[in-house]
Chain A
């Protein structure tokens, strides 16, 4: 098949007004941080985008105090219908400034503009819109009459969906009447800091949202601060485990959204075109930087050859390169460190005897890149079938019977998500029923919606985000 060449279609970055340096956002003001400031780079070019302040213990303390005061004096006592209006304002402003946010997100994170523009930012606005409507309806959230907010929420989010994760955390917290101190990831702080400007335009009371930038140490200071009532973390399972230990014996409420190693199960009667697209979306969406990525493909043996052939053909059409180009499907790996981790795990795949195949594509000279890759001949004992790679690397295993598919799918300490592809309705329901995973996508994959609960079983963490269940994570029911 001839490959059509595309003319470059770069999105202009002129809409983004980058400052040389950014401070912490505490009590409605930007202030300096006490720590050593750090640089955030564009992973596609390694260009330094801005210098960002690091919050030290005193800064975190100040932020928590600002949130406490705002909770007690303003946000907690405010009627739900008024809180709702602030959240509706934020949703609207985010929609109005969506292009600016999409470009900045792509610059700082490396994800294709096609995804930041069409997935991340629209969902972000929708997340605030959905939760705004909850603020004056908390009596109907399923926790009995008059549920109460928890207080100050300490929120630590990852770099894979910097703005979307902010929305997942901040929107339900504010709707329920809590105030927040949020720490974005150190490699992707910029859209969170731009969000401060949305708070200004919405005239959100000072201290309701505070943003402290920094790395692991700032996060540790925040979640262990004695005056926070709720800790919400999205990130790796090892860090989640450490946080669970930290809050043990305290009164802090905790929700964790951690790693995954999702099985994407393709039966022989699957709708094949959709399944191939679903496999690609499952693992190569957002460069595979997705905790619920379909990173273990389980194919029924009778169609394994056909699926692999078609998958490789489809992968050969993926366009890797400049994330700001509107034709780009696969952007940059978020950091040199993450690229190193992906390379190490892929090397383990080679060493343990799996067969590697990468899509033929030219990698740019600068920046952090990894070609979409699959490993075949993978067994359940291989590290690439057990450990989360968090990159565009797919492990392919086969199965013969539905029971074997379920057995292999559940054979992991994780339990975040799974996929099932088959035309047979009764089989979908039976398999979905047996999978130990919080989200099951049948004949689709990687769908997200603020009305739909998301979260894991087992070591993928506890609590849900989105929907009524997610809202409940920020409320205390009447006793």
Chain B
């Protein structure tokens, strides 16, 4: 046993590109799967949620107006930085999920590969989900995908990093911005991912990461009029999910229900798209 005491990390929230503590001053104890103390994570409040939504709204214009090629480049850069911090993530995933080193390695590899897969979608989306429509008359008529806006994501509870990447990357690539509520019991890899995002050219506010209880802050976010969509994938309690979906009706938010598969799929991307159809007469 060495004499040296390790320097522990303070895990904070990630809002608007900065790492604040919760304005509420609250934290909660995060333990490893074997019960060992890992950290005191910030417990996000309703106010933190609102700050995160304003940051996401502010970032939406710039992020969605970047060229898809540029968004693809930035997202690929995230994968590069992610790869460089594999060892730290493997250790954190291992601690959080209690899996073997081999399993943790596989899970982090899959997270990096998933990120790369989605990064490549950014500049192909309109070719695959858009359409030139042949209408009955002399009109140019084109349907193109656009991001829906600010998306609140409840990240999966079990898979602390891979599960999070599987729900976050497909939302970002089309130009949406996100407010993520991480796994409650396994939040630490989410904050480390936030550090990676903040150093990978992703503009501040595009991703906002809250560690905390979805049942507590979820209703405020679901009822927030400046949120456009809700991904409930990580909500395990069916009653909570139903109530959040009902709250979301206040401004007709798009809702992705729990139980939607998280595997790499176009169907993780399209629920957060709008399709705009533009008509123009053809003539000389």
Instruction: Render B115-140 as a binary contact track against A, CB cut-off 8 A, 1 for contact.
Output: 00000000000001101011111010
Docked pose: A126 CA to B136 CA in angstroms = 9
The 5 lowest CB-CB distance pairs between A and B, nearest first, are: A249-B242, A244-B249, A248-B245, A449-B135, A248-B246
B143 & A469 in contact (Cβ 8 Å cutoff): yes
Docked pose: A248 CA to B228 CA in angstroms = 16
A248 & B249 in contact (Cβ 8 Å cutoff): yes
Q: Does A33 contact B (CB under 8 A)?
A: no
* A464 proximity list for chain B (CB < 8 A): 275
Closest CB in chain B relative to A379 CB, distance in Å: 22
Q: A438-B274, A447-B139 are in contact. Are A462 and B280 (CB under 8 A)?
A: no
Of the residues B135, B255, B278, contact of A432 by C-beta under 8 Å: B278
- Give the one of B134, B143, B243, B281 with max A CB within 10 A: B143
Q: Does A442 contact B (CB under 8 A)?
A: yes
Which stretch, A152-160, A170-178, A192-200, A451-459, touches the partner chain B?
A451-459
CB closest chain-B residue, reference A429: B278
Closest CB in chain B relative to A55 CB, distance in Å: 25
* A245 proximity list for chain B (CB < 8 A): 246, 249
Of the residues A447, A459, A468, contact of B137 by C-beta under 8 Å: A447
Closest CB in chain A relative to B223 CB, distance in Å: 12
Closest CB in chain B relative to A158 CB, distance in Å: 17
* A440 proximity list for chain B (CB < 8 A): 276-279
A452 & B277 in contact (Cβ 8 Å cutoff): yes
Secondary structure at the B interface, as helix, strand, loop or mixed, is mixed
Docked pose: A53 CA to B246 CA in angstroms = 32
Of the residues A432, A452, A454, A477, contact of B267 by C-beta under 8 Å: A477
Docked pose: A447 CA to B249 CA in angstroms = 29
Q: Write the residues of chain A forming the contact surface with B, with a CB cutoff of 8 angstroms.
A: 126, 142, 237, 240-242, 244-245, 248-249, 256, 258, 413, 428, 432, 435, 437-444, 447, 449, 451-455, 457-462, 464, 467-469, 477, 479
Q: A469-B131, A469-B143 are in contact. List 4 more A-B contacts (CB 8 A).
A: A244-B252, A440-B277, A453-B133, A453-B277
* B137 proximity list for chain A (CB < 8 A): 447, 449
Docked pose: A166 CA to B224 CA in angstroms = 34
Instruction: Render B226-266 as a binary contact track against A, CB cut-off 8 A, 1 for contact.
Output: 00100000000011011101101111101100000100010
A455 & B275 in contact (Cβ 8 Å cutoff): yes
A248 & B139 in contact (Cβ 8 Å cutoff): no
Give the contacts of B125-172 with A (CB-CB under 8 A): 128-129, 131, 133-137, 139, 141, 143, 148
* A460 proximity list for chain B (CB < 8 A): 252
A249 & B241 in contact (Cβ 8 Å cutoff): yes
Closest CB in chain B relative to A305 CB, distance in Å: 27
Closest CB in chain B relative to A272 CB, distance in Å: 15
B interface residues, how many (CB within 8 angstroms): 38
* A241 proximity list for chain B (CB < 8 A): 249-250, 252
Q: Write the residues of chain B forming the contact surface with A, with a CB cutoff of 8 angstroms.
A: 128-129, 131, 133-137, 139, 141, 143, 148, 228, 238-239, 241-243, 245-246, 248-252, 254-255, 261, 265, 267, 274-281
CB closest chain-A residue, reference B128: A142
B135 & A438 in contact (Cβ 8 Å cutoff): no
Docked pose: A479 CA to B260 CA in angstroms = 10
CB closest chain-A residue, reference B263: A479
* B133 proximity list for chain A (CB < 8 A): 449, 451-453, 467
A248 & B242 in contact (Cβ 8 Å cutoff): yes
CB closest chain-A residue, reference B143: A453
* B136 proximity list for chain A (CB < 8 A): 126, 449, 451
B281 & A444 in contact (Cβ 8 Å cutoff): yes
* B134 proximity list for chain A (CB < 8 A): 451
A462 & B279 in contact (Cβ 8 Å cutoff): no
A438 & B275 in contact (Cβ 8 Å cutoff): yes
* A462 proximity list for chain B (CB < 8 A): 252, 254
* A413 proximity list for chain B (CB < 8 A): 251
Of the residues A432, A444, A459, contact of B252 by C-beta under 8 Å: A459
A479 & B261 in contact (Cβ 8 Å cutoff): yes
CB closest chain-B residue, reference A258: B252
* B261 proximity list for chain A (CB < 8 A): 479
* B241 proximity list for chain A (CB < 8 A): 249
Docked pose: A479 CA to B268 CA in angstroms = 11
Closest CB in chain B relative to A240 CB, distance in Å: 7
Closest CB in chain B relative to A140 CB, distance in Å: 12
23 intermolecular pairs with C-beta atoms under 8 Å apart: A240-B252, A241-B250, A244-B246, A244-B252, A245-B246, A435-B276, A438-B274, A438-B276, A439-B279, A440-B276, A441-B278, A444-B139, A447-B137, A447-B139, A447-B279, A451-B141, A457-B274, A458-B252, A459-B252, A462-B252, A462-B254, A469-B131, A469-B275
* A451 proximity list for chain B (CB < 8 A): 133-136, 141
* B239 proximity list for chain A (CB < 8 A): 249
Docked pose: A192 CA to B134 CA in angstroms = 28
A442 & B249 in contact (Cβ 8 Å cutoff): no
CB closest chain-A residue, reference B250: A241
Docked pose: A88 CA to B267 CA in angstroms = 31
Closest CB in chain B relative to A418 CB, distance in Å: 10
* B249 proximity list for chain A (CB < 8 A): 241-242, 244-245, 248
Closest CB in chain B relative to A153 CB, distance in Å: 18
* A468 proximity list for chain B (CB < 8 A): 131
Docked pose: A477 CA to B135 CA in angstroms = 26
B228 & A458 in contact (Cβ 8 Å cutoff): yes
A443 & B280 in contact (Cβ 8 Å cutoff): yes
CB closest chain-A residue, reference B283: A443
Docked pose: A161 CA to B261 CA in angstroms = 38
Closest CB in chain A relative to B265 CB, distance in Å: 8
* B128 proximity list for chain A (CB < 8 A): 142
CB closest chain-A residue, reference B252: A459
B129 & A449 in contact (Cβ 8 Å cutoff): no
A441 & B276 in contact (Cβ 8 Å cutoff): no
Docked pose: A442 CA to B277 CA in angstroms = 11
A244 & B248 in contact (Cβ 8 Å cutoff): yes
* A435 proximity list for chain B (CB < 8 A): 276
CB closest chain-B residue, reference A467: B133
* B246 proximity list for chain A (CB < 8 A): 244-245, 248-249
Docked pose: A361 CA to B37 CA in angstroms = 81
CB closest chain-B residue, reference A454: B277
* A237 proximity list for chain B (CB < 8 A): 252
Docked pose: A248 CA to B243 CA in angstroms = 7
A458 & B277 in contact (Cβ 8 Å cutoff): no
B280 & A439 in contact (Cβ 8 Å cutoff): no
Q: A249-B242, A453-B131, A453-B275 are in contact. Are A467 and B252 (CB under 8 A)?
A: no
Q: A440-B279, A441-B279, A453-B275 are in contact. Are A459 and B251 (CB under 8 A)?
A: yes
* A449 proximity list for chain B (CB < 8 A): 133, 135-137, 141
Docked pose: A437 CA to B255 CA in angstroms = 19
A438 & B279 in contact (Cβ 8 Å cutoff): no
Docked pose: A458 CA to B148 CA in angstroms = 8
- Give the one of B241, B245, B254 with max A CB within 10 A: B245
